[in-house]
Amino acid sequence: TVADAGSGSRALATCTVRGSINHDEYFHVAHIVRPGETLSSTFHESRVGGKGANQAVAVALAAGGGESSGSNPAKVKFYGTIGHDGAWIRERMREVGVGVEGILVSETELTGRAIIQVDERGENSIILFPGANYSTLHEDAFRAQSLTTAGTGGYFPHSTHLLLQNEIPLEATLSAIHSAKVSSQPPRQSQLGGQRDTIVIINPSPLPARDTISAFPWEKVDWLIVNEDEARELFEAFGGGVGRGGGDGKVEAARELVHALGGMEAFRNTSVVCTLGAKGVLARQCGVEKGMEIVYVPAAKLRGGVPKDTTGAGDCFAGYFVCELMGMADAHDDSADKEGTDFKLTQMELEKLLKVAVQAAGMCCEKSGTIDSYPTRREVEERMK
Ligand code: ADP
Ligand code: NA
């Protein structure tokens, strides 16, 4: 176990992110290219992208990465697949403190890619090439390993939290969830000897088709992170009334929607976090006293007042949110009366955690770029003083 020098508390929580990793290629153009047209771009740039990689980077930064005192060993490990053309992306992730041993290199596929045209007004148009994100190298290795070692180890050894999105094959996501919740590995021991399960957090973006939504094992998901549109789409996919939480720009309408969504049978075991862009975030914790479930935190005040680039704000939020959850799990582990990972947060704890995530996501909107605009932990704390 790793002792957190200074505070004396034991930092045990670790996170696995299983997801997408992309080479984002930006082309600045006078206008978005038209059918049949050939257009020269005025500026070109390659960046790290993919929701999985973005969120892993955000967890790492939230855990102190990107600063000289970055956490060691890594608090977050990323499992994904690149091609031989993606080594530089793995290097960038390593630099901010992401554990990259779980990044496999496909012999036959290229790194997933986003070809992004940005016009003079900031409008964009994107072509996605999934590439190695759709490789089954991880699942194949896992199957081979379970056959030879009678189920020891599991897909993701030694992690208390599992963070997922929806930019890899559904089979890969399901396999990861299955491994976290019902794998044949022995239950993890908490510091105090109790048994604990892996906490599963999913930001199911982009949302799958409705039949996939209704067949998804939501009962194994502890925290669902969605934006307002996704919340409405999920609600309707489960037969909720159309037009609920009517997108009238009011927090009250969104609160009603989150309340209704979280109250559905499918989400009986799932807490729902719904981000509301410039309005902030709502969270509904399942299994807590009636009337105490929902917490609202407004968006952070932006320097300069208006956002510069909100790309990847949702991923920044998700990463910081999960790192804060991990911190709460460690804190609860330290107190003898609150054992294990299935504790409930108090309203105050939930609010405190959301405030950090909202501050980080807000700071990401003040600069252009995706992970390049994610703040370090120190920068977030500085701003919250
Ligand atoms: P997504 O990008 O996934 O659709 P949102 O637009 O809800 O997600 O943004 C995620 C979070 O980023 C919000 O909860 C908020 O904290 C922050 N955020 C987004 N847009 C703004 C904004 N214009 N001003 C301040 N914060 C913002
Ligand atoms: Na940004």
Q: Is any ligand 1 atom within 6 A of the Cβ of residue 361?
A: yes
Instruction: Give the pLDDT band (50/70/90) at residue 293.
Output: confident
Largest interatomic CA distance in the chain: 68
State which ligand 1 atom lies nearest to the alpha carbon of 281: 14
Q: Is any ligand 1 atom within 6 A of the Cβ of residue 33?
A: no
Q: What integer is the mean pLDDT of 59-78?
A: 85
How far, in Å, CA of 109 to CA of 103, rounded? 14
Can you say whether the dihedral through the CA atoms of 19, 21, 27, 28 is positive or negative? Answer: positive
Q: What integer is the mean pLDDT of 109-122?
A: 95
Please report, rounded to a whole number, the percentage of residues in the chain having pLDDT higher than 70.
85
How far, in Å, CA of 182 to CA of 382, rounded? 41
- What is the number of the ligand closest to the CA of 369? 2
Q: What is the pLDDT of residues 153-204, one digit of tens each?
A: 456 666 899 999 999 999 999 999 988 886 434 554 444 344 457 899 999 9
Residue-averaged pLDDT of the chain: 88
How far, in Å, CA of 353 to CA of 351, rounded? 5
Pocket test for ligand 1, best of 124, 167, 203, 227 (most atoms within 8 A of CB): 227
Q: Among 52-61, 116-125, 171-180, 181-190, name the one with the lowest average pLDDT.
A: 181-190
Task: Return the pLDDT at 158.
Answer: 66
Q: How far is the CA of 274 from the centre of ligand 1 (A)?
A: 10
Task: Return the pLDDT at 290.
Answer: 85
Helix (H, G, I), strand (E, B) or coil at 14: coil
How far, in Å, CA of 32 to CA of 68, rounded? 41
- Between the CA of residue 165 and those of 23, 64, 65, 203, 206, what are the distances in Å? 17, 23, 22, 5, 8
Task: Return the pLDDT at 71.
Answer: 56
Two tokens at 338?
């609150």
Of 358, 381, 204, the closest CA to residue 281 belongs to 358
How far, in Å, CA of 33 to CA of 124, rounded? 11
> Is 4's pLDDT higher than 60?
no
Task: Return the pLDDT at 178.
Answer: 87
Task: Return the pLDDT at 92.
Answer: 97
Quote the DSSP letter at residue 10: B
Q: Is any ligand 1 atom within 6 A of the Cβ of residue 358?
A: yes
Q: Is any ligand 1 atom within 6 A of the Cβ of residue 227?
A: yes
Q: What integer is the mean pLDDT of 137-145?
A: 85
Confirm if 308 and 260 have CB atoms less than 8 A apart.
Answer: no
Of 130, 150, 110, 126, the closest CA to residue 52 belongs to 130
Q: What is the pLDDT of residues 219-236, one digit of tens each?
A: 999 999 999 999 999 999
> Is 111's pLDDT higher than 90?
yes
Q: Is any ligand 1 atom within 6 A of the Cβ of residue 281?
A: yes
At position 19, the amino acid (one-letter code) is G
Q: At CA 11, angle to CA 333 and CA 19, rounded to 5?
A: 105
Task: Return the pLDDT at 245.
Answer: 55
- The answer for 283, left when phi > 0, alpha when psi is -120 to 50, beta otherwise, is beta
How far, in Å, CA of 357 to CA of 372, rounded? 17
Q: Among 22-36, 247-261, 338-352, name the one with the lowest average pLDDT.
A: 338-352
Task: Return the pLDDT at 149.
Answer: 56
> Is 51's pLDDT higher than 80?
yes
